[in-house]
Structure 1
Amino acid sequence: MSETTWFVLAIVIYMGLMLAIGYWSYRKTDKYDDYVLADRGLNPFVAAMSAGASDMSGWLLMGLPGALFLTGMSELWIAIGLLVGAWANWKWVAPRLRSYTEISNNSITLPSFFENRLRDRSRALRVIASIIIIFFFTFYVSSGMVSGGRYFEATFGGEYLTGMLIVAAVTVAYTFIGGFLAVSYTDAVQGMIMFASLIIVPVMALIALDNPSDIWSWAANNDYGPYTDGVGNPTYFNMIAGVSAAAIIGNLAWGFGYFGQPHILVRFMALRTPAEAKQGRWIGVGWMFLCILGATFTAIIGTVFFSQNPDIAVTDREAFETIFLDMGRILFHPLIAGLVLTAVLAAIMSTMSSQLLVVSSSLIEDLYKIVAKKLPNENVLINLSRTAVVVVAVIAGILAVNPSDTILGLVGFAWAGFGSAFGPIVLASLYWKRLNAPGAIAGMITGAVTVFVWGNFFSDIIYEMVPGFILATLVMVAVTLATSKPKPEVTEEFDQAAKLARVTAKNEDTDFETAAVKVERGEV
């Protein structure tokens, strides 16, 4: 069989596995809460792997290795910012958000949590949060479809539109039928595929080198890739060479985005207990660290790997984002190489499915349910959520037919939008008793508008996350302090949620439901 045939076989196996998980999840989804949040029954391994896979997307396997290969270690600042941000998110947000969302009227979406936490009777907070989610996630899902189309172009030399439609159709299919459980378990499998590929490919490439120790000096002293003037890239291993302070701050600021990403935060809300956030943190951050390490060594080893043999070359001669894929093709049998190539698909699809489900949940839970005169039964709500998945996918697909921005540009814009609009509100909701609804609304709007304006007109100065997060925080605090204090029932619930998080964190064997009752009665 030809190489392409083997690749197609590998992808068919992968797609079939994703659909099988979707069907299995469908059989276990009986209630609306099952479809939206897996009835808060996610174990920490699945939650951690799902959060990581839905977060990283194709950037981890293509964008990061390509940037490190092309420029050098100065491109690591984003990775460092993301790693620190992920750790902080699991440490300080996950356990409190898990306990607080259940105590606060069993909130199953981020907008419903904001409304219930602050007792906003106007519904404005919930509606505005939902609009922000729908707006930014439509662009985010569109970027995933663009990645899928370009993946098929680069891998098979096929049509962009055909590849985009195939990736979108399979992702929509398992999200449509299986809901949150399908998304979480497919994400976990996809995360393991990404992890295995990012470890195996650089290790096998290192073994294939004539002199493995060359990787620590080759790029700085020898020609490779785009460097052909005989001196190589002398600053390759220097993390600050040619990088401004604004660029470093902007790249590190990507880490702030974690506090406001609905598709990641919903994994915390779905944990079985707050105590399991600790185990999830070690699994999730450990996975992320090793994956970033694999991507980094893919680039470092690649500088030697593609230089020692003139018969092989990187397919992408501009951004060099195909070095991971090219290594896989060269090193392995076509079937194994095809399975390695599915790691990129896994990264793309895991992110898309998570975002589709969050938008669907927001449309039904946060918009439809608050205007419906009569609440329909469980089956109708599930079917409405499934319909919303398809509608959002169609709109995102229309935007992806003729993409007007780079993949990283679309992702960066949406990441900053959520980080700035929701990040300060999430942190304040969990740790600031004084926060009120007017302050949250003002901060949320300020963050979203700042990112939109700055990203379109001033992005060359510094990444829009920085001004967006800072201004949102300042406005949120100022408006909160200038308006009335929250009612006693709000502050009492805040104290209960904080106490419950502390109690369950001390002993992982503590039964969450029993502890919640004792805290409510004042027995602990």
Structure 2
Amino acid sequence: MLASIATFAVYFVVMIAIGIGVYNRTRSQSDFVLGGRKLNSWVAALSANASDFSAWLLLGLPGAIYLSGLGEAWIAVGLGIGFAASWWLIAGRLRVYTERVTDARSGGDSDSLTLSSYLENRFADRSGVLRLVSAVLILVFYLFYVASGLVAMGGLFNQVFGMPSALAIIVGVSIVVLYTFLGGFLAVSLTDVVQAVMMWIALLIVPLVGIVAITSDPAREAGSFAEILGGVEGSVGDALAPIVIISGLAWGVGYLGQPHILARFMGIRAATDVRKAGAISVTWAFTAMFMALVLGFTGAVYFQTPLNNPEQVFAQLIQALLSPWVAGLLLAAILAAVMSTADSQLLVGASAVTEDGFRLFLRGRVSTMALVWTSRAAVVAIAIVAAVIALSGNNTIMGLVSYAWAGFGAGFGPVILLSLYWRRMNRAAALAGMIGGGVTAILWDVLDNDGIHLGPISIDAFGTGLYAMVPAVVVSLVGIFVFQSLGRATPEMEADFDRVEGEYSSPGAPGAASPAQR
């Protein structure tokens, strides 16, 4: 207990110190939201990893593998493909486009700070509808995403200290809010680097120690290879079911529309840094996910008695296998995984409130620092609502993450991807894609698992077991192509597309570097 308290305390102090250290460097809304677009390749890469690979990587995914076996590994395969595709297909173009696209309201380069403002400017939408719809989607799904991290904090603190989950959630969210409040995007990105390193080392050490412990103990019966791959309750045959494969691979589509990850692409120093950052980031991601899979199988073999909470298999292996001080450091890595995503999501959610709400409706009648303080207040407000959701019931980490992941992937993924590659895409198509994908992601779990029963209206559950991402992305794409005929791309939109494509394709062009570099 003493070792864990000491290591957690040191970790908290370091995170808060980083927030205090960059407090005076946050002088504008651009600094708070995107760090002034100054992230180098290493910081951008590791920050993207830490903000993405949260509690689901160290708790949710190993727990799913421990319980159900190889069938859950399709999620990791889909995520690996999708993560690499997001760097290859989106990162560079989005970095240039968000800075270069013409401002829909005032003309000139827009320097779009959020996905919502990018979409408004990309499709020359002066009505504010695109910006409002995208901001609503961001807020709705981030409340559940942040809540997943708080559930993970509650479980971790309960496992390590015996602390009640409610108190653990309050303590954890207070620390995250404090350094995010102080330092904004730069503090979040710098803490992400520390957190990404801690997570990777923990994922490397624990499976290795576990495998050594299993192989050196002749009394421990591992069971047949098929039993191991089936986890505690699954079977190898389950892993080959078409619904399992399709649903698992569909997780990869989510990477095309996750605002907290796309923000790292937008904040990187220049499009020319994307290739190096992508190589670093994808290498980290592939190795980390492989080690998380091995970790889940190791837990299935090591623990002869099934665990009450499978999502704590990582924490229980650490406590069972390692000395208290080493265990304290590695348990802090789990906390790092939780906090590194929660802070990024709080920041993007706060940006949606400020940039796409407060600033939009005040039409410039507000000072720069007033925007920064409004963003800080929004961080606190979103954290409080997410904490209420986390405390409201028996939510699992993977359940909350899968819901938010499908919402972002379907609501934004097809729209963002096509906006970067389809010259004639227009406002009507983008709006239909976002609404269709987001609403389907919200409704699918109800329609597929419970059905709808409202008086005389009754829709029985479909019972397919298909992940919501699949139907939601289909609806989004259909909406985009059907409603494309109801609008048109303006000459200015087409000129923007050609200009951005030229700058991105020519590393020596002026747009390939940030204003600071030029």
TM-score by length of 1: 0.89
Aligned to 1:382: 372
Aligned: 1:116 with 2:121: yes
Aligned to 2:39: 42
SS class of match (1:321): helix
Q: Cα gap change, 1:162/1:319 in structure 2, threshold over 3 Å: closer, same or farther?
A: closer
Q: Which moved more, 1:265-274 or 1:53-62?
A: 53-62
Unaligned runs of 5+ in 2: 102-109, 450-462
In the alignment, the residues of structure 2 paired with residue 508 and residue 217 of structure 1 have an alpha-carbon distance, to the nearest angstrom, of 60
Aligned to 1:22: 19
SS class of match (1:458): helix
Aligned to 2:414: 424
2:472 to 437, 461, 468: 468
In the alignment, the residues of structure 1 paired with residue 443 and residue 174 of structure 2 have an alpha-carbon distance, to the nearest angstrom, of 33
Aligned to 1:131: 136
Aligned to 2:460: none
Identical pairs, percent:
39
Aligned to 2:344: 354
Whether contact under 8 Å (1:215, 1:301) holds in the other structure is no
- Deviation per residue, 1:187-244 (Å, 9 max, x gap): 12111110000001122223334459999974437799986xxxxx9x86x4x54542
User: How many residues are paired up?
Assistant: 496
Q: Cα gap change, 1:516/1:123 in structure 2, threshold over 3 Å: closer, same or farther?
A: farther
Aligned to 1:263: 260
Whether contact under 8 Å (2:229, 2:297) holds in the other structure is no
The two structures, once aligned, show a CA RMSD in angstroms of: 2.7
Paired AA for residue 194 in structure 1 = M
Pairing of 1:109-258 with structure 2 (within 5 A) = 109-211=114-216, 218-220=223-225, 238=236, 240-241=237-238, 243-258=240-255
Unaligned runs of 5+ in 1: 228-232, 308-312, 518-524
Aligned to 1:300: 297
In the alignment, the residues of structure 2 paired with residue 95 and residue 109 of structure 1 have an alpha-carbon distance, to the nearest angstrom, of 16
In the alignment, the residues of structure 1 paired with residue 88 and residue 220 of structure 2 have an alpha-carbon distance, to the nearest angstrom, of 35
Aligned to 1:502: 505
In the alignment, the residues of structure 1 paired with residue 228 and residue 358 of structure 2 have an alpha-carbon distance, to the nearest angstrom, of 59
1:488 to 469, 486, 491: 491
Q: Cα gap change, 1:223/1:101 in structure 2, threshold over 3 Å: closer, same or farther?
A: closer
1:91 to 88, 91, 107: 88
In the alignment, the residues of structure 1 paired with residue 25 and residue 88 of structure 2 have an alpha-carbon distance, to the nearest angstrom, of 31
- Deviation per residue, 1:409-428 (Å, 9 max, x gap): 11111111111111111011
Whether contact under 8 Å (1:130, 1:363) holds in the other structure is yes
Q: Cα gap change, 1:301/1:92 in structure 2, threshold over 3 Å: closer, same or farther?
A: same
Q: Residue 408 of structure 1: CA displacement?
A: 1.5
Aligned to 2:441: 451
- Deviation per residue, 1:440-460 (Å, 9 max, x gap): 111111111111111222154
Q: Residue 20 of structure 1: CA displacement?
A: 0.9
Q: Residue 515 of structure 1: CA displacement?
A: 13
Whether contact under 8 Å (1:87, 1:285) holds in the other structure is yes
Q: Cα gap change, 1:131/1:299 in structure 2, threshold over 3 Å: closer, same or farther?
A: closer
In the alignment, the residues of structure 2 paired with residue 188 and residue 89 of structure 1 have an alpha-carbon distance, to the nearest angstrom, of 20
Q: Cα gap change, 1:337/1:502 in structure 2, threshold over 3 Å: closer, same or farther?
A: same
In the alignment, the residues of structure 2 paired with residue 14 and residue 351 of structure 1 have an alpha-carbon distance, to the nearest angstrom, of 16
Q: Residue 360 of structure 1: CA displacement?
A: 0.6
Whether contact under 8 Å (1:80, 1:252) holds in the other structure is yes
In the alignment, the residues of structure 2 paired with residue 443 and residue 485 of structure 1 have an alpha-carbon distance, to the nearest angstrom, of 15
1:81 to 68, 78, 84: 78
Q: Cα gap change, 1:72/1:484 in structure 2, threshold over 3 Å: closer, same or farther?
A: closer
Aligned to 2:452: none
Aligned to 2:314: 324
SS class of match (1:122): coil
Whether contact under 8 Å (1:218, 1:303) holds in the other structure is no
Whether contact under 8 Å (2:123, 2:489) holds in the other structure is yes
SS class of match (1:60): helix
Q: Cα gap change, 1:415/1:178 in structure 2, threshold over 3 Å: closer, same or farther?
A: same
Whether contact under 8 Å (1:219, 1:303) holds in the other structure is no
Whether contact under 8 Å (2:156, 2:315) holds in the other structure is no
Whether contact under 8 Å (2:157, 2:165) holds in the other structure is yes
Q: Which moved more, 1:485-494 or 1:19-28?
A: 19-28
In the alignment, the residues of structure 2 paired with residue 290 and residue 39 of structure 1 have an alpha-carbon distance, to the nearest angstrom, of 31
In the alignment, the residues of structure 2 paired with residue 210 and residue 405 of structure 1 have an alpha-carbon distance, to the nearest angstrom, of 35
Q: Cα gap change, 1:471/1:220 in structure 2, threshold over 3 Å: closer, same or farther?
A: same
Aligned to 1:9: 6
In the alignment, the residues of structure 2 paired with residue 49 and residue 292 of structure 1 have an alpha-carbon distance, to the nearest angstrom, of 15
Whether contact under 8 Å (1:219, 1:304) holds in the other structure is no
Aligned to 1:343: 333
Paired AA for residue 117 in structure 1 = R
Whether contact under 8 Å (1:83, 1:289) holds in the other structure is yes
